[in-house]
Structure 1
Amino acid sequence: MLLSICLRGLLLLLVGKHAYSQEQCLKGSVNTCDDCIKSGPGCAWCTDLNFTKTGEQETVRCNTVIELKDKGCKGIKDPMNKLKKIEDKPLTDGVKPVQIQPQNIELNLRPGKPYTFQLEFKQAEGYPVDLYYLMDLSYSMKDDLENVKNLGIVLLEELKRITGNARIGFGSFVDKTLLPFTDTNEAKLQRPCPDKNVACQPAFGFQHVLSLTSDGNKFKEMVAKQDISGNLDPPEGSLDAIMQAAVCVDEIGWGNSTRLLVVATDDGFHMAGDGKLAAILEPNQETCQLVNQKYSKSNIWDYPSVGQIARKLEEKNIQPIFAVTKNMESVYTELSKLIPKSAVGVLSADSNNVVKIIVEAYNKLSSKVIMAHDSVPNSISVKFRSNCVGGEKLTDSGICENVNIKQKVVFDVTVTAEKCMENQTFFIGPLGFNEKLRVTVSTQCKCECDDPREDHPHCKNNGKVVCGSCKCNTGFLGQNCECELGKKNEETLRAQCRKDNATLECEGKGECVCGRCQCHLTQGNSQYYGEFCQCDDEHCEQSNSKQCAGHGRCRCGKCDCFDGYEGTACDCPKSDEACKKDGTVCYGRGKCVCNECQCQRSYRPLFCKECPTCQRPCEQSGSCVECLAFGSGPLEKNCSASCTHLTVNVVDKLLKSDCRAKDKEGCWMSFTMTEQEGFDKYTVNVLKTIECPEGPNIAAIVGGSLAGVALIGLLILLTVKACLYASDLKEWRRFEKDRKQERFAGSNPLFKDATTTVQNPVFSGDS
């Protein structure tokens, strides 16, 4: 083990040295040593008096150690991280065991520079165990209750055999006593069980029955007095009960021990939001509310969320064991994934295997060590690496599995302070144990230089030397305090502090000192920088409530991402796996940003493969297809140079032909065009056979023309004849109509007969 630790230490040293050699100083316009070391972990400050040239900004004093040495600097200020152990007791067993080492440290860190220290853990032999048995007393658990009544002595004996020191307690739960969770009929509230012959207690939410005790007979006595109860819907108020069992530390009697919470149930659970069904709108407040051993806010507060439960169990170092029936195993397995240091066991039909479940779960939980930290400010990050198999990578929590009692586990803890801040304290420790390492973090944001207190000749005796540069007395300005206010060149010097002839000097964020901007502090107590104080490192895009998502540094309003991250807020792991398809990234038609294709032109995600609005250049490609496939056409002499965007294959058969184009003879070429990776590149399959139109039939054309002329003449004659006949017929019919409408009687008076008859009046005709 010692050899392993030494090797790991050597590896860390080598890695650290390599990382240091690769550090960069990404600075803005800095004026002092304090500004420089705040700029980044790779920045150092040169304190040599004559390091800067005349008129040169003090910024040049701030650079990497290597760069400063290369420029001949002798005095370099490069504050390093420091660790001070306040309490460092060795790991021991016994009445007051020590299971983590060290116990209290102080870290003085350079902003942005990680510091790694070792934290050791060894579970003490005989470490006490507190087990609180939380049982579902809904009516379906009637048979299980009878077995639990005889559980206490056996369970205590098993736990004492393992640890030598164990206590056990008991609590029970059903559900909120409101509709639709419980029948609110007064008689039903007093006796919710469906079987009238069964002893039944009134409906309730959660009740604490027995505080933790080492007396198994007391457990048996108190549990024997418990009766079954009932409710309406299948899900129970499990989360209400778990929350109260966790936060009521004094009432339950939790001690400095391994804390186990056994939850025995045969159904699912209500969670936050379900209370609205009963008009309960007030969220769970995560505080102990036991009155006369019962949960008094059951019908006032909503159920807690799973997140609240997970956070509170971790805070109180309680490890839950869900003893559930087979049909609920998958539900509680998913719940267990959200709660660190938890286990799931399957109950038999009457819970007679519960002791076995608890012992197996305890052994499983004890063999898994999870090192984690409590909440820290956004400006502090904590990572873990263990000496266990699979624990070599830096993660948010260190995990070691299959750890035996008295086996020492070593964790490398890396702490990074991203910016200057006041002292911050947090705790690190193994989940499920009360012992924690107290870590107090302070930051090194000021240079400590051994400077004379009197005015210095280097500053023309008009100022003092501070870390190599001059701090001028009132009324004097300049690199060496050579400028005196009130001189004629003051306006010229001030103009040099205005960007693009602006009216504000140093953009209102600094003072113009002898023609150069000396920048103010920002509201966050960092420094404006840049030639005109135009930059600051506090206004970058945020993600997950963190500037640059915690995966980069803010540089002049833009995120400078760490290796492995990208995006405007450094919120995307650098990867192109989700952008790959058929071995290409976005088919060469877009960029992979945040592991998603950002397509160009009119191509569509996910992979920029298809463009519904794009047209294949069939006609435009006809000349290239002709010269590449058949060696002819207008591009015949310049084919290879003009048609590099096409790859042409001549085939005997095409399954489909989506393009047609004419060659120089007017024949049709049939081909398909398949777009290649990138833009405007195609693979073309050309049908070997060209379709040419047949020549004209002269005889048919002439014969057909004469016949057509004769036919047209005949049609014209028939048409004229028909028109004349129709006109005559129309006149005849009108004449006949007029005759029928005559109004004269007898003959027409206008008509005169051609023969005249004269009669002799003398002659009467008588003889």
Structure 2
Amino acid sequence: MSWYVIFLWIQTVILTSSFVYSEVCTKTKANNCQECIQSGPHCAWCKKENFTNAGEPDSVRCDTVRVLAERGCGETDIINPKSHPLSNYSQPLDGTVQLTPKRIVLQLRPGMSGEFEVKFKRAEGYPVDLYYLMDLSFSMNDDLENVKKLGNQLLLALNSITKSAQIGFGSFVDKTVLPFVSTHPEQLKNPCPDKPDSCQPPFSFKHILNLTGNGDTFKDQVGKQNISGNLDSPEGGLDAMMQVAVCGEKIGWRNVTRLLVYATDDGFHIAGDGKLAAILTPNNGECHLEDNTYKRSNEFDYPSVGQLAQKLSNNNIQVVFAVTSNMVKTYQDLSKLIPKSVVGGLSNDSSNVVQLITEAYQNLSSEVILDHGITPDFLDIQYDSYCSNGISNLNKAKGTCSNVKINEEIKFTVKVTATKCLPNQSFQIRALGFTDTVRVSVTTACDCVCNDAPDPRACNSNGATVCGICSCNTGHVGKNCECVTGGKTSQELEQSCRKDNSSAVCSGAGECICGQCTCHINEDPEKKTFGRYCQCDNWNCEMFDNKLCGGQGKCNCGTCTCDSGYEGSACQCKRSTERCKNVRGSICSGRGKCECNKCTCKGGYIPPLCEECPGCSSLCPHFGPCIECYIKEGQLNPRNCSDVCPGVTAIRTDQLTKTPFCREKDSDNCWMQYSIYEEDGEELYTITYTLKRECPEAPNIFAIVGGTIAGVIILGVICLFIWKLVTEFKDRKEYQRFETERQQAKWKTNVSPLFTNATTTVMNPNFDGDGE
């Protein structure tokens, strides 16, 4: 048993310690009480005079209560506002009041929740208003006949469970536009011409009967109704529900329990379906009843389910979906989105509607849901529900209890948290489906009430203390109002304590007093902050071997100052240059820095001694003009080559002993050859060159021109010869074809049958043969 007690004690100590040390005050910049308590829910302010030491900022007054107490701040000097109710107006729970308190004023510390208790007691026989909203499309014809007989039965059923009941009636079909309803003039008069009974013209929603306690009036008005018709299966029921919810005065709702019975055998249109009929204006959730008819249904789209749920909730209306068996699943899904609604299975002719409504009322009344509606974004509200059946629902967005019996009392703890300072706010907590509300007014504790005793000697008689710190008179500034501004504003004095425009005052490590920085004193005497702008310290230097400056130097404004014989950014090396010297004794070849006995080369040079220049090959074109100058200087060039070649030592030789490092063309298109060697240091080169150049020979113009002409002639002769051969070949081929055809001819070729010998004797027709 003793071990068990010890174990519990250890657990308690651990939990208590973790709770205490979990309270942390993060105060980045809290120069006064208001800034402090707005920094976090665990921040408190010490208003005790002379609480700070010399050089300490006023921000040390801001910390957790535990830390301030440890530093000697008394309980009466600690300002630490809490979240709690300021006033509570309660009423006893009786037959008329079911929810208490009626009003409550709550003060909230940002980040800290405030709690209060709400009680609910279900009253017996609470008044009920029931509005029967019926689908009058043709498929509900037989249902209408039964509903016409329901008036007195409904009232009798309701009066059996309540002291006062009223019933009303309305009906709906759909929007009177295509494709929902036929717009043919004849069918707009009678939408079901092929039916034996005539139908009334289609309509969106009609309010038939105001809520009344007279069952005969209900029976009489409903008895006058006729069935109507439309084209598609879904109906415009959501349009009708919206008007019933928002037209409270025209419907006749009392401030009692409100039930809306929605009877149908089909589905429903939702927001967006109106686009099928070119209705693009969203539903505005307002009342548009004219002569008890929703005449603007063709102007506004159907409401969304969320929009309808909000309006039903705001107007405290509970919905009973009385639907046929084929629609139960559809409306159960809809009921999940509408608070305080139930679904009941309606018989095909609605004969069981009275029993269905009675059971639905009992189910709705026995379920209590606390909700607060829409609140500002920076208020978080949660509920702990303690129900009579022993079930507790903690930290929920709504308070819920089911199966609450008549005259049974249940409790809720409401926890409200403000995440920031807010102007005065208010909201209502309602038990959905019931009329009682709790009005909550919220104020945020973001100001300090310190009640400092006036002391004329305080603040050097140049100001007054406010929550322990000085508020100076005009012309004086400083922690104790000790500085005279001398015509300068406090902003100008403060600017002189900034290193530059973007810097913090005194680098955030000191106070600006009379235009000069006084650096904060560190709790560790070995650590100090210094400098004109408190920009330096002696502990933020590089570490080596887990020691500041390797233990072989001192930290001075973020840089290590090494002891004699040591070097390096953290004084981690003994000073030596043995490994940094090249064969000529130059340290890092003059192109680097020897640190920790190792060369750190400048860009482009290669360790270990920075001798090799990987980019020297790219210098060949750079030195081309320089070498050309020296070559032509040897040929009596008047230019001064030392000006063209700074840092270059040129050595002429008759012949390069090794393959030239560079081979570049000069301005005469001749190839020059030279080698580059970089001396110790930067931009110092020795160049060895030769005067010999490889120049291209001049072209032989006569040979080029003669060769070109001869080539053209030869090419022309060859072309002519080829043309002649082709022509001869074609002629021979044609002649051979002619001969072949001639030999194959079938007539004689010696004498032509058409041939006639020439006439050799010519006679004169006038000559008679007698010659004279």
Shorter chain as normaliser: what TM range? 0.5 to 0.7
Question: Which residue pairs with 2:232 in the alignment?
Answer: 233
Q: Deviations over 1:596-624 (max 9, x none)?
A: xxxxxxxxxxxxxxxxxxxxxxxxxxxxx
Could you say which residue in structure 1 is the equivalent of 2:374?
375
1:276 maps to: 275
Aligned to 2:363: 364
- Write out aligned runs for 1:151-550 (5 A): 151-388=150-387, 389-457=390-458, 459-486=459-486, 494=494, 497-498=497-498, 501-502=500-501, 514=514
CA–CA distance in structure 2, aligned partners of residues 252 and 487 of structure 1: 73
Q: Distance in 1 between matches of 2:506 and 2:460?
A: 30
Letter of the 2:56 partner, please give it: E
CA distance in 1, matches of 2:312, 2:347: 27
Judging changes above 3 Å, is the alpha-carbon distance between structure 1 residues 466 and 292 closer, same or farther for their aligned structure 2 residues? Answer: same
CA distance 1:492–1:110, change in 2 (3 Å)? closer
Which of 71, 77, 80 is residue 78 of structure 1 equivalent to?
A: 80
Correspondence 1:99-178 to 2 at 5 A: 99-178=98-177
Structure 1: segments with no counterpart, 5+ residues: 1-14, 518-531, 533-767
What is the distance in 1 between the residues matched to 2:100 and 2:93?
6
- In structure 2, the residue matched to 1:741 is none
Q: Which residue number corresponds to residue 29 of structure 1?
A: 29
Matching residue's letter, 1:157 = L
Structure 2: gaps of 5 or more residues: 1-14, 518-532, 534-772
Distance 2:348 2:299 in 1: 34
- Aligned to 1:162, the other structure's residue is in SS state coil
Letter in 1 for 2:333: E
Change (3 A) 1:223 1:487: closer
Output the CA distance in 1 between the equivalents of 2:513 and 2:127. Answer: 68
Q: CA deviation at 1:502?
A: 3.5
Q: What amino acid maps onto 1:251 in structure 2?
A: K
* Matched position secondary structure for 2:218: helix
Q: Which amino acid aligns with 1:202?
A: P
Closer/same/farther in 2, CA of residues 497 and 281 from structure 1, 3 Å limit = farther
Contact 1:494 1:505 in 2 (8 A): no
SS in 2 for 1:345: strand
Give 3-state SS (helix, strand or coil) of 1:264's partner: strand
Larger Rg computed on CA atoms? 2
Is 1:505–1:512's contact at 8 Å kept on the other side of the alignment?
no
Deviation at 1:503, TM superposition (A): 5.6
Change (3 A) 1:487 1:268: closer
Mapped partners of 1:491, 1:337: distance in 2: 61
Supply the AA of the counterpart residue of 1:429: R
Distance 2:439 2:130 in 1: 27
CA distance in 2, matches of 1:385, 1:17: 27
Q: Is the 8 A contact 1:54 1:479 kept in 2?
A: no
In 1, the alpha carbon distance for the partners of 2:199 and 2:278 equals 28
Q: How far 1:99 sits from its partner (Å)?
A: 1.0
Amino acid of the structure 2 residue aligned with 1:210? L
Pairing 1:608-647 to 2, within 5 Å after superposition? none
Paired amino acid for 1:38? Q
8 Å CA contact 2:84–2:115 kept in 1: the answer is no
- Measure the CA separation in 1 of the matches of 2:222 and 2:438: 39
Cα displacement (A) at 1:139: 0.5
- Distance between the aligned counterparts of 2:473 and 2:84, measured in 1? 35
Question: CA, structure 1 residues 57+496, in 2 after alignment: closer, same or farther (shift >3 Å)?
Answer: farther
> Tell me, what secondary structure is at the counterpart of 1:313?
helix
SS of 1:243's partner is helix
Q: CA deviation at 1:338?
A: 0.5
Counterpart residue number, 2:63: 63
Are the structure 2 counterparts of residues 343 and 236 from structure 1 closer, same or farther at C-alpha, using a change threshold of 3 Å? same
Change (3 A) 1:361 1:233: same
**SS of alignment partner, residue 320 of structure 2:** strand
Amino acid at match of 2:54: T
Question: Root-mean-square deviation (CA), in Å?
Answer: 2.8
Aligned-partner SS, 2:392: coil
Give the C-alpha shift of residue 131 in structure 1: 0.6
Q: Give me the TM-score of the superposition, normalised by structure 2.
A: 0.61
User: In the alignment, is the contact (CA less than 8 A) between 1:391 and 1:398 conserved in 2?
Assistant: no
Q: How does 1:535-574 map to 2 (within 5 A)?
A: none
Q: Is the 8 A contact 1:456 1:465 kept in 2?
A: no
Identity, in percent, stands at: 53
Return the letter of the residue paired with 2:419: E
Q: Distance in 2 between matches of 1:317 and 1:194?
A: 41
Deviation readout 1:31-50 (Å, 9 max, x if unpaired): 11111111121111001112
**For residues 225 and 294 of structure 1, what CA distance do their matches in structure 2 show?**
16
- Assess if the C-alpha contact under 8 Å between 1:370 and 1:400 holds in 2: yes
Cα pair 2:107 2:114 within 8 Å, conserved: no
Alpha-carbon distance in 2 for matches of 1:17, 1:327: 62
| One-letter amino acid matched to 1:105 | I
Structure 1 residue identity aligned to 2:319 = P
Q: Cα gap change, 1:202/1:332 in structure 2, threshold over 3 Å: closer, same or farther? A: same
Q: Is residue 455–residue 465 contact of structure 1 (8 Å, CA) maintained in 2? A: no
Distance 1:144 1:481, change over 3 A: same
